Amino acid sequence: MATIRRDFGSLDHDGERLYWESAGHGGTPLVLCHGAGGNHAVWYQQVPVFAESRRVVAWDHRGFGRSTARKGPTTPALAADDLEALLDHLGIETCDLVGQSMGGWTALGFAIANPARVRRLVLADTPGGIDCPEVRTAIDALQRGPGPLAAPPELGVHPAVGAPFSARDRDHAYLYSLLGGFGDPDLAAIAPPLLSTRVADDALASVRTPTLFVVGSLDTLFPPAAIRAAAARLPDGANAGVVEIPETGHSPYFEDAPAWNRAVAAFLG
């Protein structure tokens, strides 16, 4: 088995310390932006796979994992700015970019502001701020609920993983909850500005980056119908389609990593 080099560190930016990890080398770098239930560590089933052929970077949003939030919780605008600073720090001019759930707002916002720096974009279980009636319905349901980002007290149960996964693999479902507990993100303060951030129509019309949407068939936070409607809002040249991962909830990258990895690898080429 070939050795894969791993590096890690932190970047001081805008009064915060942003933690990052990098593995592998060569190819177009792949940058992974986690959701509100995670941090850099949730990508443990992706980094070793993709790092066999390219550099892979995972990082922590403000307040998550090992990154600070001294000035307050992250927002989509702050996160996109943090990502730009991180890529500059790491010497990455062009990358393939993945955004999971909350990270989709970061990824799409960055891609719109920096189109030349993103070769391909993956939006995983996220509308990324794309506005349409189906997405608004999903967001309204989230805002009426008991708190979409908070894990229930039952062992191995979490709104960001599907019920079949919790039933068949309770230990890894429990691991998901544990990983999400790293850091001290103010989830109650993060949710409102996140869910209210919407990409303007003219900005969306300018997107030329090939974009793949991946969604779990059982995702109750952003159901497949909402994701398909969001994808349809992209210009024809940018919409690379929607891949639905069967029998998974809001986190197929965690629940069925082999299927998710195959879909993303096929798109990235």
Q: What is the DSSP string of 83-152?
A: HHHHHHHHT-SSEEEEEETHHHHHHHHHHHH-GGGEEEEEEES--TT---HHHHHHHHHHHHSS-TTSPP
Interatomic CA distance for residues 32 and 261, integer angstroms: 13
pLDDT confidence of residue 181? 87
- For the four alpha carbons of 240, 37, 185 and 182, in that order, the dihedral sign comes to negative
User: Residue 148: is its pLDDT beyond 60?
Assistant: no
Q: Which of 29-43, 46-60, 141-155, 172-186 has the lowest mean pLDDT?
A: 141-155
What residue ranges do the domains of the chain occupy? 6-268
Q: What amino acid is encoded at 251 in this protein?
A: S
Q: List, for residues 76-122, the tens digit of each pLDDT value.
A: 999 999 999 999 999 999 999 999 999 999 999 999 999 999 999 99
Alpha-carbon span 234 to 223, nearest angstrom: 18
pLDDT cut 70: percent of the chain above it: 97
Closest CA to 100 of 157, 156, 58: 58
Q: DSSP readout, 216-229?
A: ETT-SSS-HHHHHH
pLDDT of the residue at 144 = 83
- pLDDT tens, 219-239? 999 999 999 999 999 999 999
Residue 146 clears pLDDT 80, i.e. is over it:
no
Query: Where does residue 246 rank: exposed (0-12), middle (13-18), buried (19+ CB within 10 A)?
Result: exposed
Overall average pLDDT of the 4-21 stretch: 98
**What is the dihedral sign for C-alpha 71, 77, 83, 84?**
negative
Of 82-91, 153-162, 259-268, which gets the smallest average pLDDT?
153-162
Average pLDDT over residues 231-260: 97
The predicted pLDDT at position 153 comes to: 74
Confidence of residue 152 (pLDDT cuts 50, 70, 90): low
Which CATH fold would you assign to the domain 6-268?
Rossmann fold (3.40.50)
Beta bridge partners of 178: none
pLDDT, tens digit (0-9, with 9 covering 90-100), for 19-50: 999 999 999 999 999 999 999 999 999 999 99
pLDDT at position 147 is 58
Report pLDDT for 2.
82
Amino acid residing at 206: S
Averaged pLDDT score across all residues of the chain: 95
pLDDT at position 269 is 92
